[in-house]
């Protein structure tokens, strides 16, 4: 694991960790963590599991980073809006470590999923997007509005929406309804778990990894 730092276009210096595969990477991936005001950081076991799967099994260069104002990252919490700049900088940093012509997957969980889908609308470098536990039900997270159906039609790249059966932030019926607005969306609901995938991290990581491998490195 290699510590890295990089800077956003508005001058925030962010910290992250890069996991490289054995041998030449087949692409890159960026992981976006849960809500900074609710203990979210790059170090959650679910994100560790996804990082390990994508690097060791899918052979990607994987960057997990802390949004502005979290732990050693500079700047201050941006309400989910300035964090889109963080994602753009993280994609650039990840792609600096893999050949520029190779694809990049963008993966977000909870708050990170909200930021990731908004970032991906305009950032064509995100060749595939995985949204885990995307908050869709009413909640107290004070998140920016999600893209509507009109905006989502512009995201003509493969999208995975993953949630636990008992996820109160991302109820299965709402996940499926939101997915219908994407041109290319796959929905996976994992039975018997919730928003956090406790003790099911590797299972969730394998779903994300399988999706990324299928859409970024087709046979």
What is the pLDDT at residue 153?
93
pLDDT at 1: 86
pLDDT of residue 100: 78
Domain total in the chain? 1
Q: What is the CATH number of the domain that holds 149?
A: 3.40.50.1820
Rounded to an integer, what distance in angstroms lies between the CA atom of residue 195 and that of residue 109?
9
Q: Residue 89 is encoded by which pair of tokens?
A: 């900088």
Strands (E) located in 8-139: 13-19, 28-32, 61-65, 104-109, 126-132
Edge-to-edge strands of the sheet including 104-109? Answer: 2-7, 13-19, 61-65, 28-32, 104-109, 126-132, 159-164, 185-190
The pLDDT of residue 140:
83
Cβ–Cβ < 8 Å for 204, 162: yes
* Structural domain that includes position 197: 2-216
Q: What pLDDT is stored for residue 141 in this prediction?
A: 83
pLDDT at 218: 60
Alpha-carbon distance of 130 to 26, in angstroms, equals: 18
Specify the residue for token string 């499926």. Answer: 176
Residue 101 has a pLDDT of: 87
The tens-digit pLDDT sequence of the chain (219 residues) is: 899 999 999 999 999 999 999 999 999 999 999 999 999 999 999 999 999 999 999 999 999 999 999 999 999 999 999 999 999 999 999 999 888 789 999 999 999 999 999 999 999 999 999 999 999 998 888 899 999 999 999 999 999 999 999 999 999 999 999 999 999 999 999 999 999 999 999 999 999 999 999 998 765
């Amino acid at each position: 694991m290699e510590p890295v730092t990089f800077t956003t276009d508005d001058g925030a210096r962010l910290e992250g960790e890069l996991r490289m595969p054995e041998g030449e990477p087949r692409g890159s991936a960026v992981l976006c963590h849960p809500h900074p005001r609710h203990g979210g950081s790059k170090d959650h076991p679910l994100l560790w599991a996804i990082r390990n799967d994508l690097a060791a099994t899918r052979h990607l260069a994987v960057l997990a980073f802390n949004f502005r104002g979290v732990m050693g990252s500079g700047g201050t919490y941006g309400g989910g809006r300035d964090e889109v700049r963080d994602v753009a900088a993280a994609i650039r940093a990840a792609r600096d470590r893999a050949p520029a012509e190779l694809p990049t997957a963008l993966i977000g969980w909870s708050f990170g999923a909200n930021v990731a889908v908004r970032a991906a609308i305009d950032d064509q470098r995100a060749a595939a997007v995985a949204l885990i536990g995307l908050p869709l039900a009413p909640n107290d997270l004070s998140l920016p509005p999600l893209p509507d159906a009109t905006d989502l039609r512009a995201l003509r790249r493969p999208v995975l929406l993953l949630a636990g059966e008992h996820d109160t932030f991302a109820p299965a019926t709402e996940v499926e309804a939101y997915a219908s607005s994407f041109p290319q969306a796959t929905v996976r609901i994992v039975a018997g778990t919730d928003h956090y995938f406790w003790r099911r991290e590797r299972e969730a990581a394998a779903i994300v990894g399988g999706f990324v491998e299928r859409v970024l490195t087709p046979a």
